[in-house]
Structure 1
Amino acid sequence: MAPTSPSTPDTAATGGQGSGIEVSFEFFPPKTEKMEQTLWASIEKLAPLNPRFVSVTYGAGGSTRDRTHATVKRIVNETSLKPAAHLTCVEATREEVDDVIRSYWEAGVRHIVALRGDPPSGIGAKYVPHEGGYANAAELAAGISKIAPFEISVGCYPEKHPESASFEADLDLLKAKIDGGASRAISQFFVEPDTFLRYVDRARSAGIDIPIVPGIMPVGNVAGFLRMAEATGTSVPAWFRDRFEGLDDDPQTRALIALSVAADQVRQLADQGIRQFHIYTLNKAETAYALAHLLGVRPSKPLAA
């Protein structure tokens, strides 16, 4: 496949009720019964949009392994959605990770999001490969491919991973992930659409031709968003901070502003030919549903009155 520019669609997507746009949604495994109720209400709300897949995250150091597996298995058993299970190689031997991979296949999961993962102490801490474990996501992707013919998605970083020495080194690692079996890259969140588009141009110039899907992160908690941005090296322009200034005690207005910011992101990217979007739902359906609607994605069946 010849390299494409950001103005050229990455795929010949067919979803979205004729819009030519496909969405996928990301959830995290619930910690409490109340959070589980919220999650499943969100899944029920978003399922009629026929997402390409829904992914379930995996906590730092494998801390949510059992809950991730339980959530993914329930999606397989109780819905028609196609789940993608996140998997990391932190704090585990190859044998332990391989057991998880096999258990996903046996449960009917056919798609894994392969990530190196963050250390148990969280984002920004120094990563040390586990003795006897997979060293990084490229090795993990290759290990998954050897066990079963999973579809494999991996992460990519529009402003490069904070631990990468350069953009070139970062793209070399993405190439290694592709060599290991990855067929899609999902981006770290970003604020400016041009940041993502420049990254796609850079990747295409480096000969990377798999779909590169923007990860859209609507703002929930502003302070938390800014902390994560700082830890991951994500640029936050002054205009972004200004839009949320003074809204700490006004969650309703803050939610409207957050939707407005995310809506601008997806509209600008769609105008430049991007046709796949991965939305970090934070386990809440409203903003994700609205963004999909703005992109022209409609329910496959009318919602009940």
Structure 2
Amino acid sequence: MSIIQPPSVTTVPVSFEVYPPRSDASYAALYETIDRLAAVDPAFISVTYGAGGSGGGRSLEVLTHILRETRVEPLAHLTCIGSSYAEATALIREFLDAGIRSFLALRGDPPVGAGEDAAALGDLESAAQLVQLIDRVQAETSPYTEEPIPGVPGAARVERRPSVDIAVAAFPNGHPRSRYPAEHIDALLAKQAAGATLAITQLFFHADDYLAFVARARSAGVEIPILPGIMPITSPSRLRRVIELTGEQVPGTLAVDLDVEPTADGRREIGVRYAADLCRAVLAGGAPGIHLYAFNNHDTVLATLREAGIIPPTEETS
């Protein structure tokens, strides 16, 4: 199975990221957002895993809701930093036992103040090692399927169970902790060799950042699909926060336009238009689909897809 599926409602494969609710009162709003996102038949909806392992239980609740209540593939984020092999194995088994078959394997950030201290980082040193562990645990947990053979009592056809899908992160402008210019591409090659089936990029603000990165990765031997990760940014404060978290360069045009626009509706239109232009440009350059960071809000990402011509306009916007 591939988690990039041929589209139905959409003209190209799309997918979304949401995060677990921070309080019990937020579940209803998130589930409404998931229902609205599911209505456009995305290839998958990914659910983040809390920093330092926080929010893991809520992540699984949201993932199982997607599995039970929609026809969309749920994709679980897993981080390995600070975990022992036993802890990571137990967590992977818990997700597999719940029916989750798609993962995003991330190294994660060290605990605050730990730096790169080996004792604080745990047994798994990289996302590539987590990819291998997920694959191994799945193979050990349920390696085969059995299907009864009609007309032959007690007989069954035994087949090897399909492997899990494992996505990994990619960094078009390099990882902040890279020690040399091409280390992020070498890391992606290692993740591919470990069994990754898809890469999803960190945010970027210019189509050429993504397209040039894909070209470099392909030249280096990366063959798995590289899905562009895009977030419609609709306020100066969110843009500042994204820059702080990712280390990306400030996108001048977007930053100025958001700063000078006095109304929230106007800033939303600017962010949607900028993200839609980015979607069109990367698709024109050969991107295999679009992955949108929804920030637990369906309105803005769906407006972006409509503006980009990826989903049909609603009656209100037609």
Please list, as runs of the form range in 1=range in 2, the aligned pairs for 1:285-300 lying within 5 A after superposition: 285-298=298-311
How far is the alpha carbon of 1:232 from its aligned partner?
A: 2.2
Taking structure 1 as reference, are residues 67 and 120 closer, same or farther at Cα in structure 2, changes over 3 Å only? farther
In structure 2, which of residues 73, 85, 92 is the aligned counterpart of residue 94 of structure 1? 85
Gaps of 5+ in 1: 1-10
Moved more, 113-122 or 189-198: 113-122
Partner of residue 14, structure 1: 6
2:264 to 239, 242, 251: 251
Matched, 1:167 2:181: yes
Match of 2:104 in 1: 113
- 1:103 alignment partner in structure 2: 94
Kindly provide the CA deviation profile for residues 136-188 of structure 1, in whole angstroms up to 9, marking residues without a partner as x: 10111111111113200000000010101223221111111111110100000
The alpha-carbon distance between structure 1 residues 41 and 115, as it changes in their structure 2 partners (threshold 3 A), is: same
TM-fit CA distance, 1:127: 4.5
SS state at 1:167 partner? coil
Please state whether the residue corresponding to 1:49 is helix, strand or coil: coil
What are the within-5 Å matches in structure 2 for residues 1-305 of structure 1?
Answer: 14-17=6-9, 19=11, 21-121=12-112, 126-129=115-118, 130=120, 132-148=122-138, 149-247=163-261, 250-298=263-311
In terms of mean alpha carbon deviation, does 238-247 or 195-204 score higher? Answer: 238-247
Q: Which consecutive unaligned segments of at least 5 residues does structure 2 have?
A: 139-162
The structure whose RCO (Cα within 8 Å, separation 6+) is larger is: 1
- The letter of the residue matching 2:264 is P
Could you say what secondary structure the match of 2:68 adopts? helix
1:102-136 C-alpha deviation (Å, 9 max, x unpaired): 111111100000001123439xx835454542111
- Taking the aligned partners of 1:142 and 1:92, their CA distance within structure 2 comes to 15
User: 2: distance between equivalents of 1:232 and 1:74?
Assistant: 30
Looking at structure 2, the residues matched to 189 and 16 of structure 1 have their Cα atoms a distance apart, in angstroms, of 26
Q: CA deviation at 1:295?
A: 4.7
Which is higher, the Rg of structure 1 or of structure 2? Answer: 2
Are 2:235 and 2:268, in contact at CA under 8 Å, matched by a contact in 1?
no
| Conserved 8 A contact 1:62-1:90 | no
The CA deviation at 1:222 is 2.6
Measured at CA, do residues 45 and 296 of structure 1 come closer, stay the same or move farther in structure 2, by a change above 3 Å? same
Partner of 1:7: none
Deviation at 1:220, TM superposition (A): 4.3
For residue 60 of structure 2, give the secondary structure of its aligned residue in structure 1: helix
Matched AA of 2:220: A
Contact 1:138 1:176 in 2 (8 A): yes
TM-score, normalization by structure 1: 0.87
- How far apart are the structure 1 equivalents of 2:310 and 2:270? 22
Task: Give the CA deviation at 1:199.
Answer: 0.5
Distance 1:146 1:197, change over 3 A: same
Displacement of 1:49 in angstroms is 0.9
